Structure 1
Amino acid sequence: MHRRTSSRRRTALILSATAIAAVPALTACGSGAHPGAAAVVGGQRITVSQLETRVNEVRDAQQAATTDSAQYEQAIAKSGGLTRNTLHTMVLDRVLHRAATDQGVGVTRKEMQDMRAGLEQQAGGSKQLESAWLSQYSVPPKRLTESLRTEIEAQKLATALGADMQTQEGQSVFWKALGTASKELNVDLNPRYGAWKVSPTSRLVDAKTPWIKQVTEQPAATQQTA
């Protein structure tokens, strides 16, 4: 089962920025018309308080996973820009969900359970998988299932679009769908967190969202560290 999961991840996840530099950037600039909001997506606010809560979840998980203050400081250093990256991830996940919904894509609980089981087998257990997701993507254990749902959603969206993510043409189709969804949602980002762009060549890649990663050049490494 885990081999099939690995294959799906290699063929469907988003590729590196260098591989898809030709994709045009689609920008929605923050208007500053929503005080107290870190972002507004589809008319729904992501408040500064909600963003801070998500960031604190990561910091708490990092602290719990380290044995001393030095290790904790190292973890913080590795996740620099966490607040901005967390917000961009939260927004991008909503954009992805809209694009998937537009294509009639949904994710079942069984699909999430199957993916988690496969990844746990690769990682050597549940705790090891949680540790890897926290270290690599700044996803705390309590958000792991949510993160896996997004991964599956990205895979199924690519399939629904007929987008071969190992080709530039397929990558362009996928990101065009996200750009359309971003426009539909009228994403409004608070300027303090940067400008909003749906593009693999933008700062979005810094968010370390699991489904935005390079997987074609080193598939073996992906299997070992997923």
Structure 2
Amino acid sequence: MHRRRRRTALLLSAAITAAAPLLSACGSDAHPGAAAVVGGERITVSQLENRVNDVRAAQRAASADEAQYQRLVAQTGTLTRHTLNGMVLEKVLDQALEDAGVRVTRKEVQEYRSALEEQEGGSQGLELSWLQQYNVAPEHLDESIRSDVEVQRLATALGVDVNTPDGSAVFWQAMAKASEKLGVDLNPRYGTWDVEVEKQGRVGMAEAKTPWVREVTKAGTQEPA
């Protein structure tokens, strides 16, 4: 049951748009020091860097030696943009849930995490799995799992199956509406934000994925979970 629900959440379309040139500025002119402003709330460069540093620290701790750690760093060179994409989408998802009148309880998240831990052989196994697969540090695992549950609940509220192209499109329409309602002001050094669902079929930054979004092909076939 929980494995099926997890696959449903993971098979959502990643937010992929045309990449914008990276700029050297530390913040936009309107919001200095901000990586993004979502609904008037700042995600600071410092907050973003701290979350990225948490991932790097966890990767180092999980590496057998410095060479393995450096390989991990090389393989996750776009970690900062991917992390920011997830941080913004978390806020957009919260708005979409509010619009749909959906509330996820702590108990639901705890039960879902317990089921995942059982699959992964315990808490440490789950932490390592999500670090390796999704670049989520243990400190932020609960937030990521909560988003997983929220996606499932939103899809249910919308009455769609996100494993299908039509269901995925409806889901991202709701996310686009929430994104436009909030307003996303992204620091141009990290890229651009796109909510053209009709054209792109997704919402988000260039080539950025989060644990609860994964590509659904145009033909409707799914990537392995």
Rounded Cα–Cα distance in structure 2 between residues aligned with 1:61 and 1:200:
33
Q: Sequence identity, in percent?
A: 57
Q: What does residue range 1-226 of structure 1 map to in structure 2 within 5 Å?
A: 4-16=1-13, 32-198=29-195, 204=205, 206-214=207-215, 222=225
TM-score, length-scaled by structure 2: 0.84
Say if 2:12 and 2:214, in contact at 8 Å, map to a contact too.
yes
Rounded Cα–Cα distance in structure 2 between residues aligned with 1:162 and 1:203:
23
What RMSD, in angstroms, separates the aligned Cα atoms of the two structures?
A: 2.6
Matching residue's letter, 1:126: S
**For the structure 1 residues 90 and 200, does the alpha-carbon distance in structure 2 shift closer, same or farther, using more than 3 Å as the test?**
farther
Structure 2 residue runs without a partner (length 5+): 19-26
Rounded Cα–Cα distance in structure 1 between residues aligned with 2:206 and 2:132:
16
**For the structure 1 residues 12 and 81, does the alpha-carbon distance in structure 2 shift closer, same or farther, using more than 3 Å as the test?**
closer
Q: Deviations over 1:59-116 (max 9, x none)?
A: 1111111121011111112211111111111001111111011111111111111111
Rounded Cα–Cα distance in structure 2 between residues aligned with 1:11 and 1:36:
36
Give 1:205 deviation, angstroms: 7.2
Rounded Cα–Cα distance in structure 2 between residues aligned with 1:129 and 1:218:
23
How many residues align? The count is: 210
Give 1:9 deviation, angstroms: 2.1
TM-score, length-scaled by structure 1: 0.83
